[in-house]
Amino acid sequence: MDFRLPTASGAVTLTDARLRVVDGSGSAARAGSGVGAELAAMVLGGHPPFVDAGTARVVTAGPARAPGAGVERDLGVDMTNWAVVVDEAFLVKVVRDWGGAERSVRQLDRLAAAGADFVPRTAGRIEWTVPGLGTGTVAVVSEYVAGASDGWSWAVDDLLEHLDGGPAPMWPGELGELTARLHLALAADVWPEPSSTAAGLRSRVHDALDRAAEVAAGDTSVRLANRMPALRSLADTLPDTAAGRLIPVHGDLHVGQFLRRPDGGTPRYLVVDLDGDPQTVPASLLADELEPAAVDVAHLLVSVDLVGSIAQRRLGAADARATAWAADARAQLRAAYRSALHDAGADDLLDERLLPALEVEQFARELSYAARFLPRWNYAPDAGITARYAPTADREDPPWTPPASPTT
């Protein structure tokens, strides 16, 4: 059965637990259709929408305010969910899958309770109760930081400037320290879980490698196969029991999830997108799942390699300097993260023995993500795997070269 949450300019529709934003003609809504602006006005004004089935309500995070002009534009980055910027002041996001925002809402509530100042402020959300599905958040309205860019832009620019003779980027250490603060805030209301079995993690890493091998093609497939023995050996280094506390991790932490303010204001960096892993559907399955902090740290470390991959694509050639920089940057990030935990008396939050295997898992998941969502992204994890891991000695190993595509 189809359900509609109408606005004057269109609607949010629900079919088989999938959400879609449509304009007045029923076509997929784009920036400028007015739907996002109307959803923002509902939240800002505290006025629930009319629905033709079930009930909806607005949950505000502050006093009601008058909406602005309602000027919409596209966010301009690849996103799993539907999102538009309204009046250069608010980001309106509608989730793709029913239940897909529950994890984000819960995480934002945790951070607010901990007094975290490094996430964009939330204006509120729209909850929709649908027969047979219960209540779910379908739209979230948050502060839009005008002029800020995500790490896939500023981090790559910083690296290219460095390779052109500029100063070494400072952000690896800054992100390491901020990630520790994020983890401390997310763990603040969680009863300590002192340890966990790593057997499930070991199986998960091998499964990720299996999926990557299935989707890899061409020279990527050859390079991956040549390194598979080394990758599987690292998966097997996971200890039988992991030390460290389990926490509600970010779940999709990479440099792209860090916005940097253009004015260098305080805080300079903001953490965004706490929806969890876009490859897990629905994301709400992760709402209460606790994992080792090393999951986030490994993901972030791999993204440092991916910054190096993007820089090489923009340079138009493989460049060993980018690979060497990535190794140094990862070391800085880990050291800053550990130092911040130590200063907070929370050394038990990280079991570093998990990192090599979890980094392997993340590289494999990046290949799978590219095959499923963004094929042009394949070159980036391919470059990282090729540079980081030794190939089998007796096989021909085609060299990695960046694609000619002008886009990431």
Helices of type H across 164-293: 171-186, 199-215, 218-235
Q: Which two tokens stand for residue 179?
A: 């990630």
- Beta strands 55-60; 82-86: pairing state: unpaired
Residue 305 annotated as binding site: no
Arithmetic mean of pLDDT over the chain = 90
- Alpha helix ranges (H) inside 46-170: 102-113, 151-163
User: What DSSP letter does each residue of 53-87 carry, written as one string?
Assistant: SSEEEEEESS---------EEE--S--SSEEEEET
- What average pLDDT does range 72-99 have in this prediction? 88
87 is in an annotated binding site: no
Cα–Cα distance measured from residue 374 to residue 345, given in angstroms and rounded to the nearest whole number: 41
The token duo for 350 is 């990280």
35, 21 contact by CB (below 8 A) = yes
pLDDT band at 54 (very low <50, low <70, confident <90, very high): low
Cα(101)–Cα(274) distance, integer angstroms: 9
Residue 202 has pLDDT above 90, yes or no: yes
CA atoms lying within 13 Å on the CB side of residue 68: 12
pLDDT single digits (tens) 179-190: 999 999 999 877
331 phi/psi in degrees, rounded to 5: -65, -40
How much is the pLDDT for 392? 86
- The answer on whether 277 is annotated among ligand-binding residues is no
Q: Which domains does the chain have, with CATH numbers?
A: 7-143 (no CATH), 149-388 (3.90.1200.10)
**Is 366 annotated as ligand-binding?**
yes
* Cα angle value 188/144/283 (rounded, 5°): 55
Q: What is the pLDDT of residues 363-403, one digit of tens each?
A: 999 999 999 989 999 999 999 999 999 998 788 999 999 99
> Is 60 exceeded by the pLDDT of residue 285?
no
The pair of three-digit structure tokens given for residue 194, joined into one six-digit string? 């002192």
Tell me the Ramachandran region of residue 386: left when phi exceeds 0, alpha when psi lies from -120 to 50, beta otherwise: alpha
pLDDT at residue number 50? 64
311 within 8 A of 156, measured Cβ to Cβ: yes
76 pLDDT above the threshold of 70: yes
Diameter of the chain measured on Cα atoms = 69
Residue 259: predicted pLDDT: 94
pLDDT at 194 over 80: no
What tokens were used for 289? 């799942």
Rounded Cα distance between 391 and 137, Å, is 46
Q: Which residue type does 376 have?
A: R
Interatomic CA distance for residues 352 and 194, integer angstroms: 15
Separation between Cα atoms, residue 329 and residue 343, nearest integer Å:
21
- Residue 39 has phi, psi (to 5 degrees) of -65, -40
8 A C-beta contact, residue 24 and residue 10? yes
Q: What percent of the chain has pLDDT over 90?
A: 68
Sequence-distant (6+) residues with CB within 8 A of 47 are 41, 58
> Which amino acid is it at 111?
L
Q: Averaged over 122-141, what is the pLDDT?
A: 91
Cα distance between residue 382 and residue 227, in whole Å: 11
Phi-psi region of 276 (alpha: psi -120 to 50; beta: other; left: phi over 0): left
Rounded to 10 degrees, what is the CA torsion of 62, 64, 69, 70? Answer: 70
Q: What angle do CA 140, 145, 149 make, to 5 degrees?
A: 110
Mean pLDDT of 274-296: 73
User: Which range is least confidently modeled, 44-58, 71-85, 98-112, 116-130?
Assistant: 44-58
Determine if residue 219 is labeled as part of a ligand binding site: no
Burial letters 129-164, b for 16+ CB under 10 A, else e: ebeeeeebbbbbbbebbeebbbbbbbbbebbbebbe
- Residue 400: phi and psi, rounded to 5, are -85, 135
252 is in an annotated binding site: yes
The alpha carbon torsion through 190, 196, 202, 207 (nearest 10 deg) reads: -40
Q: Could you give the CA distance from residue 49 to residue 5 in angstroms, rounded to a whole number? A: 7
Length of the chain: 408
The predicted pLDDT at position 310 comes to 98
The predicted model gives 245-261 an average pLDDT of 93
pTM here? 0.91
State residue 67's pLDDT score. 72
Calpha distance 107→185 (Å, rounded): 10
Residues 6+ apart with CB under 8 A from 334: 176, 297, 301, 352, 355
Distance CA 333, CA 329 (A): 6
Residue 150 assigned as binding residue: yes
